[in-house]
Amino acid sequence: MSDHTDAQLQALDRLVGTWRVTGGSEGTVTYRWLEGGHFLVQDVDLTQEGMRIKGMEVIGRERPFGADAPGADLRSWYYDSQGSTFAYVYELEGDTLTIWSGEKGSPAYYKGTFDAAGTSVTGAWVYPGGGGYDSAMTRVS
């Protein structure tokens, strides 16, 4: 668990563990805290459109060299075995997780809802012009 006092970041602790992903992508993702509790790391092992994709994502607040304080948004940086690099903004309000592509308010995003037990998240990726897909995660451990 994070030992950092950032309440918005700390709220993402409910993602820690391994999840089975179903829907437009199939496989597993594992979330874990980087030492210090400032960053949550996601390890990705998915198959999407017949391609195996392995990747990692680092989620936290941006704080460039020399900055006095971290940024306002929970940003993430994703890198995968296909050479893709994506940036996202995470937002968790109550039981609703929104992952904005690029910037908060983007027309491309994921929105999912945790069940009462916190053992599944059900939602969908939405893309402008279509092409989005349903995506659910079920806790494995």
Distance CA(74)–CA(90), nearest Å, equals: 5
pLDDT band of residue 1 (cuts 50, 70, 90) is: low
Share above pLDDT 90 across residues of the chain, in percent, rounded to a whole number: 95
pLDDT at 4 over 70: no
pLDDT digits (tens, 9 = 90+) for 96-125: 999 999 999 999 999 999 999 999 999 999
Taking residues 39-65, report their average pLDDT: 97
Taking residues 53-59, report their average pLDDT: 98
pLDDT digits (tens, 9 = 90+) for 124-133: 999 999 989 9
Domain 7-62+70-139 fold is: Lipocalin (2.40.128)
Q: Report pTM.
A: 0.94
Question: Terminal CA-to-CA distance of the chain, rounded, Å?
Answer: 15
Give residue limits of the domains in the chain.
Answer: 7-62+70-139
pLDDT at 59 over 60: yes
Question: How much is the pLDDT for 5?
Answer: 75
CB atoms within 10 A of CB 138: 13
Task: List Cα–Cα distances, 27 to 11, 49, 78, in angstroms.
Answer: 24, 12, 17
CA 90 to chain centre: 7
